């Protein structure tokens, strides 16, 4: 009886560990995609300002780009 309980506890521990490991991998992949998207948005805003456009217009374009990323602001 005690051995069965220990096996269940070990199996539950391993299942939890596997879940956390998979979650960490998926979040790191998502974070990489977010970083690339935001880098593109920052570059577009910089180019917009260098072209002499008003700051408000460039900020609006930046916000639209960031909303398209679907990620939190870095």
pLDDT digits (tens, 9 = 90+) for 15-73: 554 444 443 434 444 457 899 999 999 999 999 999 999 999 999 999 999 999 998 87
Residue 31 lies in a domain: yes
pTM of the model: 0.55
Q: Is residue 61 part of a domain?
A: yes
41 domain-assigned: yes
* Cα four-point dihedral sign 53, 50, 61, 55: negative
Report yes or no on 32 lying in a domain.
yes
Does the residue 40 lie in any domain?
yes
- Count: domains in the chain: 1
In a domain, 10, yes or no: yes
DSSP string, 25-67: HHHHHHHHHHHHHHHHHHHHHHHHHHTT--HHHHHHHHHHHHH
Give domain status of residue 74, yes or no.
no
Q: Domain of 55?
A: 2-69
């Amino acid at each position: 009886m005690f051995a069965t309980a220990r096996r269940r506890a070990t199996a539950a521990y391993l299942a939890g560990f596997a879940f956390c490991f998979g979650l960490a991998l998926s979040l790191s992949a998502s974070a990489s995609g977010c970083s690339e998207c935001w880098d593109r948005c920052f570059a577009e805003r910089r180019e917009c300002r260098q072209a002499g456009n008003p700051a408000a217009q460039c900020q609006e374009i930046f916000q639209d780009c960031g909303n398209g990323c679907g990620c939190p602001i870095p």
